[in-house]
Chains A and B, each alone.
Chain A
Amino acid sequence: MFSLQGITKGVHTWLYSNMSSTTALVVECAIVMLLSIGLFAILGLVLVLMERKVAAHMQIRLGPNRVGPWGLLQTTADTLKLVMKEGLTPDGADKILFNLAPFVIMIVAMLILAPIAFASGFQIWDLNIGVLFVTAVSSISVIAILMAGWASNNKYSMLGAMRSGAQIVSYELSAGLSIISIVVLTGSLQISEIIESQRNGWWLFKGHIPAVISFVIFLIAVTAETNRAPFDMAEAESELTAGFHTEYSGMKFALFFLAEYINIFIVCAIGATLFLGGWMPLHIGNWEGFNHIMDYIPSSIWFFGKTFFLIFLIMWFRWTFPRLRIDQLLNLEWKYLLPISMFNLLLMAVVAIMGWHF
């Protein structure tokens, strides 16, 4: 059975046996950094292409099909174009904040990568408050959006940023509550333990209806948090042209664009970890034979499969629904999602205390 665990273990022991522990740590950090940057680049290319293909097929079109086989190199060509374009900074802009914002949003996205388990034993930092870390750090992205909107000195950007602020802050609540409902079941904030607790079945199936409800709420909330349609109030191109990144061009725009897709990947990875068992293969109770067969599929494939399924769902939302209005968006959160998820958390607590889950 192929596993990434062996490789990481091997590299770790080799580094620590051949170098001083400080040097080994630095080298490990460098490797992780290169890997995560590489992952970002690949993810950006893949997800943008995937979105365009998904959109095209829903819109009875073919989508990109000219650059490379089946248009595979289209995003690469687009990236090259964006790199070559001039990155303008408007005269009236707050130069420091304006140029800083794209990097802040990227750094935030990179930070959340830390506790995500990509495969069995393939995790950057298995810290014991993993879930809390994710919810805490992901809130910072709103600061980057506000920075971009404010510093652009553009009324469209300003409106977009303000909308985004109101939106992300309120949707954090129900996203957090639905995450907590899983934490209640598991009794741990550590990602590896949450995954381990799903060895005999995913929480989505084990946790009865409350788990399904919190999964749906989680999906809606993260769609809103990543500013995706139907909650793309911050961009709302028919109202605000491009929202908070109206004034950005060239590579700085590309960073915002990339960060959007990285954020989708990350929230979907979190969703897959919490509700669908992360890299854990599909196990059903004590069907040993079935579980054994499932184990033959490498854990990384399970993880990416689940994550991309969730990403597809979010793309499906985007290409089907019209956009909400800002007050309806907040109504949805405060009048529907928050009461439901609070009630749901209560139910979940009862389920967990009584031990009704499988």
Chain B
Amino acid sequence: MYTTTEILEQKIQVAPTGELQDTGDLVINIGPQHPATHGVLHLVITLDGETVKKIEPHLGYIHRSIEKMCESLSYRQFIYSTSRMDYLSAHINNHACAMCVEKGLQIEVPRRAMVIRVLMDELTRIASHELWWGAMAMDLGAFTPFFHAFREREKITDIMEESCGARLTMNYIVPGGVMNDIHPDFQQKIKEFITQFKSKIYEYDEMVTGNIIFQNRTKGVGRISKEDAISYGCSGPVARASGVRSDIRKLYPYEVYNEVEFDEILETAGDSFARYMVRVREMHQSISIIEQLIDNIPEGDFQAKTKAVLKLPKGEFYTRVETARGELGVYIISEGGTTPYRIKFRSPGFSNLSALEHMAKGGKLGDLMATMGTLDLVIPDIDR
């Protein structure tokens, strides 16, 4: 075996037979410190001129082994740590974990808590897509949209701060419900946000979507077919852009998602522009879900009565939720104790990343950035 450093420094590759061969290719490192990787992703790419021949992700720069940590945390404690996986949909991660614990304990969550959770989920999804939208435009060289996206995102974080107490890693969900009741201003603030969002969203199309340069940069770039998307385990907007039905909210509804009306956004092109459009249209769907629920928050408890120390019965529990990036699975194996015996997070970014080479191979270096931007990678989510 040769170490990665050797391969990188000496420009050698290990042939299938095990011997070294000098390929003479231009091997460059994208990351771990690079403006386009939005984190500590490290891609070793082989170039032929401007054309990408090979992409090899090197992961682990932010691997904290949350799965191992969770084995020593109780069922109440481990939820907070999952905020640090996909920090942009922290709330949805917490939601998945809490649902898994509730499934094991068979806790009946009050309806009010369910509606609040769904509202927060959708707000998180919009916030995440807003950030992605700005960062995506920045990947393609337009800086201004980033700040405009943050203007709207800031409103959401304000709402989060008011009700949950934190802006990014909320830890608002506890097994059995939510930690606090919503703030009295919650509904009014959200309505204000929706008005503002609707008055600004058309600007997004003016600045980015309709722009001829943007369309040329993304259309037909990073294409993945429906079969490949399934085979690579893609989920979320990446899969839906290829026409794979993968919205967990529709396929396996949880909480109150079967009572609200929304569309599963499907595109067929499977290129970067399709992925872009799926996310932009998803924001509209999330707004529609929020509008349906915001006036219908039922009265009642926000938390079910639970024991102080939670003990899951012996067995295996798996929940899947739809985060902003795709399908998040939480797999808890319990031996009947107060801590999980083994916990596994099936993160959406990890599978989506594995399809990157397939998508960007043969394209230009600039196409790689467009593809990476539309994959919406959050590195702690991949590394966990």
Contact = CB atoms under 8 A, between A and B. Distances in A.
A156 B207 contact: no
A239 B369 CA distance: 7
B34 A327 contact: no
A61 to B, nearest CB: 6
Contact of B213 (A163, A236, A237, A321): A321
A322 B364 contact: no
B148 interface: yes
Contacts of B367: 325
B207 A320 contact: yes
Interface in A29-75: 55, 58-61
Given A230-B213, A324-B216, A325-B367, A241 B148 contact: no
A325 B141 CA distance: 10
Given A237-B35, A328-B217, A323 B28 contact: no
Looking at chain A, what size class is its interface with the partner chain?
20 to 34
B365 A159 contact: yes
B227 to A, nearest CB: 28
Interface in A219-251: 229-230, 232, 236-239, 241
Contacts of A61: 147
A327 B216 CA distance: 11
A326 B50 CA distance: 9
A-side binding surface: helix, strand, loop or mixed?
A: loop
Given A60-B148, A236-B366, A326-B366, A321 B143 contact: no
Given A232-B141, A320-B142, A326 B35 contact: no
B137 interface: yes
B-side binding surface: helix, strand, loop or mixed?
A: helix
Contact of B366 (A55, A229, A239): A239
Contact of B143 (A55, A163, A324, A326): A55
Contacts of A133: none
Contacts of B213: 230, 321-324, 328
B28 A155 contact: yes
Interface in A52-106: 55, 58-61
A84 B208 CA distance: 40
Interface residues of B, number: 33
A300 to B, nearest CB: 33
Contacts of A241: 34-35
A229 B214 CA distance: 13
B214 A239 contact: no
Given A159-B365, A325-B366, A230 B207 contact: no
B151 interface: yes
Interface in A311-336: 319-328
A163 B147 CA distance: 29
A238 B364 contact: no
B138 interface: yes
B139 interface: yes
A335 B364 CA distance: 20
Contact of A322 (B27, B47, B137): B137
A155 B28 CA distance: 7
A163 B50 CA distance: 9
Interface in B344-366: 364-366
Contacts of B137: 322
B141 A236 contact: yes
B73 interface: no
Contact of B142 (A155, A322, A327): A322
A358 B348 CA distance: 66
Contacts of B36: 238-239
Interface in B121-143: 137-143
B211 interface: yes
B144 interface: yes
Interface in A131-178: 155-156, 159, 163
A219 to B, nearest CB: 16
Contacts of A229: 141
A321 B34 CA distance: 21
Given A159-B365, A230-B213, A323 B151 contact: no
Contact of A59 (B144, B214, B217): B144
A156 B214 CA distance: 24
A324 B370 CA distance: 11
Contacts of B214: 322
B26 interface: yes
A98 B173 CA distance: 57
Given A55-B143, A320-B144, A325-B366, A238 B217 contact: no
Most chain-B Cβ atoms within 10 A of its Cβ — which of A159, A322, A326? A322
B35 A59 contact: no
A272 B27 CA distance: 45
Contacts of B365: 159, 239, 326
B157 to A, nearest CB: 17
Contacts of B207: 320
26 contacts: A58-B144, A59-B143, A59-B144, A59-B146, A59-B147, A155-B27, A159-B47, A163-B50, A230-B141, A232-B141, A236-B141, A238-B369, A239-B369, A319-B144, A320-B207, A321-B211, A321-B213, A322-B137, A322-B142, A322-B211, A322-B213, A323-B141, A323-B366, A325-B366, A325-B367, A328-B217
Interface of A: 55, 58-61, 155-156, 159, 163, 229-230, 232, 236-239, 241, 319-328
Interface of B: 26-28, 34-36, 47, 50, 137-144, 146-148, 151, 207-208, 211, 213-214, 216-217, 364-369
CB-CB nearest 7 A-B residue pairs: A323-B141, A59-B147, A322-B140, A325-B366, A322-B142, A238-B36, A155-B28
Given A60-B151, A241-B35, 6 more contacts: A163-B50, A237-B35, A321-B142, A322-B142, A323-B366, A328-B216
